[in-house]
Amino acid sequence: MPSPHPAQDITEHVGYRLKRAAAALRSAMDKALREHDLTVPQYSCLELLDEQPGLSNADLARGTFVTRQSANVVLRGLEDAGLVTRAATTDHGRALPVHLTVVGQQRLHAARGAVYAIEERMIEALPARRLAALLTDLDAMAEALDE
């Protein structure tokens, strides 16, 4: 079967390059977040809850690209560390809203600088004029694969 675009080997394929970039990002984030006693999924949950307090486990699973079961494990760890609280009951439905604690907000703000520094390093590798196009292209590729 012919390649979808000119490529000498697997390392020139778009999927390979995306995976390489994602792996490099994950490795850098893992290292930086370890200093804040957080994992990447935990940090992602804290970020989402800072932007949208009261999200449910299912909302957090979707937002962090993990299963509901995995999100529940992450939330339990955050709860045990005193970084989030989950209501025991809800006014409507079954979804229990999750909120950051003061300690959770403090931990997030401390870790955010490290994560933003990593993103800044990535962005600085590109000409500034190409960033908007890159973001648009990445969104278009994701949408092309969404079912």
Eight-class DSSP state of 37: T
Q: What is the rounded average pLDDT of the residues 50-73? A: 94
**pLDDT at site 76:** 95
∠ CA 41-32-63, nearest 5°, is 20
pLDDT at residue 12 in the model: 84
| pLDDT grade for 11, boundaries at 50, 70 and 90 | confident
Longest dimension (CA), the chain: 58
Query: Which CATH number do you get for residue 79?
Result: 1.10.10.10
2 assigned to some structural domain: no
Consecutive H or E run containing 99: strand 98-100
The pTM of the full predicted model, rounded to 2 decimals, is 0.87
Q: Residue 8 — pLDDT band, cuts 50, 70, 90?
A: confident
Higher pLDDT, 16 or 9: 16
Q: Looking at per-residue confidence, does 107 or 11 come out higher?
A: 107
Q: Is residue 64 part of a domain?
A: yes
> Which of 10-19, 77-86, 135-144 is predicted with the least confidence, judged by mean pLDDT?
10-19
Q: What distance in Å separates the CA atoms of residue 92 and residue 63, rounded to the nearest whole number?
A: 21
Q: Assess if residue 33 is contained within a domain.
A: yes
pLDDT score for 71: 94
Q: Quote the pLDDT of residue 91.
A: 65
Q: Is residue 1 part of a domain?
A: no
How many separate domains does the chain show?
1
Query: What integer is the mean pLDDT of 9-16?
Result: 87
User: Out of 8-12, 29-33, 59-63, which region has the weakest mean confidence (pLDDT)?
Assistant: 8-12
Query: Is residue 4 a part of any domain in this protein?
Result: no
User: What is the span of the domain harbouring residue 60?
Assistant: 10-145
- Please report whether residue 43 resides in a domain: yes
- For residue 3, is it within any domain? no
Does 122 fall in a domain? Answer: yes
